[in-house]
Amino acid sequence: MFKQIELDQITANPEQPRKFFDAEKHQELVQSIKQVGVLQAVAVRPVEGQGAPYMLVMGERRWRAAQDAGLTSVPARVIENMDDQEAYILAITENVVRADMTILEEAGAYADLAALGWDAKKIADKFGKSETHIKWRLGLLTLRPEVATMVDEKKIKPNLAWHIAQCSPQHQIIVANRYVRGDFDSEADAANFAQGLRMAEQQTSLITEEAPSVEDQEKRKKEKAKAADKLTRVEAILPLLEELTKHKPEDLATILGTELGRYVREIDRLVNRATLARRILRQANGLAEARETVAATARKATAADIAKQEPEAPAQAAARANAPKSVAPRVRKLAAPAPKPQAPGTKAPAKPAEPVKA
């Protein structure tokens, strides 16, 4: 049933999954309503004890904008016999379909449905999403509030946010701040760093392991030299490619003729291998930086513990100096124990013989 309802007869849904309303878009809608009115009706349901006879199901943004535009009523579709859960699901559907919610609001809405017993497949089918999408959104709910705000403000993209969410809270803020500050060359590098932190957190032996033996140190030195030699030889290819690009296509066609096809295929292989090597090196770099970050965090924590304990030593010494000197307890001489009573029928022990006088 559609009807015109006074704005003060409608109350917002306190369980509305959407909490953030873009101020700029709100003003655009206000101006549009001033010019052409509310073109799409809001949806409401009858309620009792809420301060107004109707509660919004869909269209809170239009309802808010209509108030700021100076309207006194809005067109509304009244939905009868709808309970709180049905109203909530309908509100989620509208916001997800229109992409009006922030990423964290969307994740929170899915979590509420999961709490009602919905699995990822049911949620995905309901909103036309993949199960992977639902699970990735749910994975964002472990983000620290400060990092979640960065995501909602679109300073951090969803894919990177998911990788950050896998880290411990103390490392989440490190990755987020470094990314927002521009410390990484790309989003992929930031994700590699986050993955490295996660691995380093799981491998506690990185911090607690014993110092490598002389043999291990020598082995690592040789492996490092070998890897560095390979990368140096790769660098030698760059001048050759730069020299090649200086030739005009027509000159190369004349020089190489039909052999060009073979060289093109070799270059393609080189590009593919170089792309793979770059990805591996970036992942390795992320892990190396992560290990150093975890180690630095541990060193900082240890230094803080030591600093906390050091001021206590003088205080304890002063307390001992000012303490009253302890007095040794007086030793009271005890009387010799009385002889034990003899058992009936036994003879008393003979007295020791007195020494013979000379």
pLDDT one-digit tens code per residue, 31-89: 999 999 998 899 999 998 888 999 999 888 899 999 999 999 999 999 998 888 888 88
Q: Calculate mean pLDDT across residues 229-241.
A: 80
Give me the active site residues, please: 60
Please provide the DSSP assignment of 103-130 as one string. HHHHHHHHHHHHHTT--HHHHHHHHT--
Alpha helices in the chain (DSSP H): 23-36, 60-68, 84-98, 103-115, 120-127, 131-138, 145-152, 158-165, 169-181, 187-202, 205-208, 214-235, 237-245, 249-256, 260-309, 312-322
Entry pTM: 0.60
* Contact between 173 and 146 (Cβ < 8 Å): yes
Instruction: Tell me the one-letter amino acid at 206.
Output: L
Residue 77 parent element (H or E)? strand 73-78
What average pLDDT does the structure give for the chain? 81
Q: What pLDDT, on the 0 to 100 scale, is given for residue 121?
A: 95
Confidence of residue 324 (pLDDT cuts 50, 70, 90): low
- How far from the centroid of its chain's Cα atoms is residue 132's Cα? 18
pLDDT one-digit tens code per residue, 190-221: 999 999 998 888 775 444 555 667 777 777 78
What are the sequence ranges of the domains in the chain?
A: 1-101, 202-307
Confidence of residue 341 (pLDDT cuts 50, 70, 90): very low
Q: Shortest CA distance to 52 belongs to which of 12, 80, 10?
A: 10
How many C-beta neighbours within 10 Å does residue 296 have? 11
Q: Shortest CA distance to 66 belongs to which of 44, 98, 82?
A: 44
pLDDT one-digit tens code per residue, 259-303: 888 888 888 888 888 888 888 888 888 888 888 887 777 777 666
How many C-beta neighbours within 10 Å does residue 293 have? 18
| Token pair 């509420």 in the structure block, residue | 112
Q: Looking at per-residue confidence, does 176 or 51 come out higher?
A: 176
Q: What pLDDT, on the 0 to 100 scale, is given for residue 273?
A: 86
* Contact between 159 and 191 (Cβ < 8 Å): yes
DSSP 3-state of 2: strand
Q: What pLDDT, on the 0 to 100 scale, is given for residue 318?
A: 56
Q: What pLDDT, on the 0 to 100 scale, is given for residue 352?
A: 47
Class for domain 1-101, per CATH? alpha beta
